[in-house]
Amino acid sequence: MAETGRRRAWLRGAAIVIGLLIVYAIVLAVYAADGSGDEPDTRSPAANGVLVYLDIDSVDGAAFEVGGHLSVYPGADLLDARGDLKDDLTIDISPVVSPTELKFAAGTRPGVLPVSLYTDGDIRLWPFDQYVSEPETVRAFGPNDVELPAEVAVTDSIAGWNIRADGGDATGGQAFTITSSRTVGSLMFDLSLCAMLVILPICTLFVSIQTIRRRKAFQPPMVTWFAVMLFAVLPLRNIFPGAPPFGSWVDYSVVLWVLGGLVASLAIYVIAWWRQAP
């Protein structure tokens, strides 16, 4: 019988280790999949037109903004032998948070300029929040406000987010929206943090209930452990990616109940102390 018990315990331990290794491999595979799939961009501007890259590099749900950088690549007909602009070039992107014209003077080379776009969403829905910008248009103008052919490419260099442009046909003057949503890997990380919080009151409630039922002896130092678990909740809550504001969905669905479970387990353990301590 003892040999059978040891064998069962060994099998349970091996199953737990294998399960953890499988979960670990899945997490790494999802993270790797989120970072793969980017193909080299071989686009080039039309000879008499402009290629505009709008690279999104930040999402601020609290401020209702997505930030990025605008890179301009003029066609060969717009450049002189040295690669400088023959004439003034103006890029109009609207709407933007700061309504400033993006102008490049003749004899210069277009650079990279920061832009901030309005976006609509609710950060309180973290980690299931999603943001959609207002319809954006990008147009290019030469001397005398003559509109030039423009191709627009929306890219992203931000980890943990899926950025896509919807609508329009990637040409100047056509309205498109930018949708920002969390990647599967980012969502798994966020939900894992929530799961870790949920495990805390499960452990403390198990210990306190077994103690008050006199199935385990009361241990005075355990009161400190309960207090540490209680004060560990807010630091864990504060490292949530994206810093959701207090009062978000996750606070009502997870954090509030975690705190309640920890307080309940501490109260039960104090009752056990009252009953069992000398």
Q: Which of these, 146, 143, 138, lies nearest to 171 by C-alpha position?
A: 138
What are the structure tokens assigned to 223, written together? 């009161």
Chain-centre distance for alpha carbon 238: 15
CA–CA separation, 179 and 132 (whole Å): 4
Q: Report the amino acid identity of residue 161.
A: W
* Domain edge (last residue) among 140, 167, 182: 182
- Residue range 230-240, pLDDT digits in tens: 888 888 888 88
Query: Are residues 66 and 151 part of one domain?
Result: yes
Query: Are residues 163 and 67 part of one domain?
Result: yes
Whether the CB-CB separation of 54 and 170 falls below 8 Å is answered with no
Q: How many residues are present in the chain?
A: 278
Burial class (CB in 10 A: 0-12, 13-18, 19+), 277: exposed
Query: Are residues 203 and 106 part of one domain?
Result: no
- Residue range 106-144, pLDDT digits in tens: 888 888 888 889 999 988 888 888 999 988 888 888 888
Range of the domain at 8: 1-37
- Residue range 31-66, pLDDT digits in tens: 666 655 566 666 778 788 889 888 999 898 888 889
CA–CA separation, 9 and 2 (whole Å): 11
Would you tell me how many other CB atoms lie within 10 Å of the CB of residue 32?
10
What are the structure tokens assigned to 12, written together? 């349970």
Is there a domain that residue 232 lies in? yes
Is there a domain that residue 227 lies in? yes
Crossing angle (nearest 10°) for helices 256-276 and 184-212? 20
What pLDDT is stored for residue 131 in this prediction?
93
CATH number, domain containing residue 73: 2.60.40
- Residue range 156-185, pLDDT digits in tens: 888 888 888 887 555 566 788 899 999 888
